[in-house]
Amino acid sequence: MERFLLYFISGLAVGSLYALVALGLSLIYRSTRILNFAHGDIASAGAFFALTLMGLKIPFGLVFIMALLFGSLLAMGFYFCILVPAQRREATLLGQIILTLGLGLIIQGLTSRIWGMEPQPFPFPLSDSKVWNIGGIYISELSVGTIAAGLLGSICLYLLVQRTRLGLAMRATSENLQAAQTLGIPTRRILAISWGTAALLGVVAGLFLAPLLLLDPFYMLEPFLKGFAAAILGGLNSLPGAIVGGLILGIAEGLAGGYISIAFKNTLAFLIIIAVLLVRPEGLLGEEFIERV
């Protein structure tokens, strides 16, 4: 039983980060119907920015906040400077998705140029080697912090979307853009905030993943793909579904890696996704998107 709980908690910790990545993807998709393929690269840029600030001996708490702001401003700048002009020129939805892919490639090139291709360790205040004994279960300090970060990020996003006037405007904009504009809601500003919030969640996940993985320009590629898969599993237009999908994916990986093999854990996770989507193509908690024409 202790072994099961160990694998379960390990998977829960990783799954909470997948959930944060999936939340960012779902938040943008439900607002704009755009799949942001630069999501992981924005997170890696935030992590490299944090690494540079830490080299200047700035306290980690301040570094953490500045990295979040950096990622948010980068995403909002992309929306205002690239996507909005493209939309004014009536760019297709596919064209806008390709723009996000281009942003990701640009970020990869810049990070490779500035910080190099060599993998680098990321100093983090929480240690993966320091463990706590909680009820006979040994869990690392970093895993506790990771679960807390995932939980806190999910709660904060829920409170923002469901309990604030800004969240009401975000929901109205995602439901019906034209109606929101008619009501006087500054939809472009609201959508920019959605992009910034999504990037913030991605940077949080990237900062907690950085000490587990060596930092290089492509270290967020696999977590991004897992987050994307989690969003599909839970329902791409559902924020609760993104959380559920991330946790299921992480726990499935943890149990498969512990009981079967490390090489098989990715296979099992995606087999689960295929099985679910065969039964519910819109995902576990997703709703079929119907567009009026």
Q: What tens digit of pLDDT does each residue of 167-200 get?
A: 999 999 988 888 898 888 999 999 999 999 999 9
Q: How far is CA 263 from CA 143, 215, 244, 259, in A?
A: 22, 22, 24, 11
Identity of the residue numbered 35: L
Confidence (pTM): 0.93
Of the CA atoms within 13 Å of residue 190, those in its CB half-sphere come to 25
Identity of the residue numbered 270: F
pLDDT band, residue 291 (cuts 50/70/90): low
* Cα 171 off chain centre by: 19
Q: What backbone phi and psi angles, to 5 degrees, belong to 215?
A: -80, 120
d(CA 215, CA 52): 12
The percent of residues above 90 in pLDDT, for the chain, comes to 62
Residues listed for the chain: 293
Q: What is the DSSP letter of 132?
A: E
Q: Mean per-residue pLDDT for 7-23?
A: 92
Q: List domains and CATH numbers for the chain.
A: 2-279 (1.10.3470)
Q: Which helix (H) or strand (E) holds 139?
A: strand 137-140
- Predicted confidence at residue 35, as pLDDT, reads 92
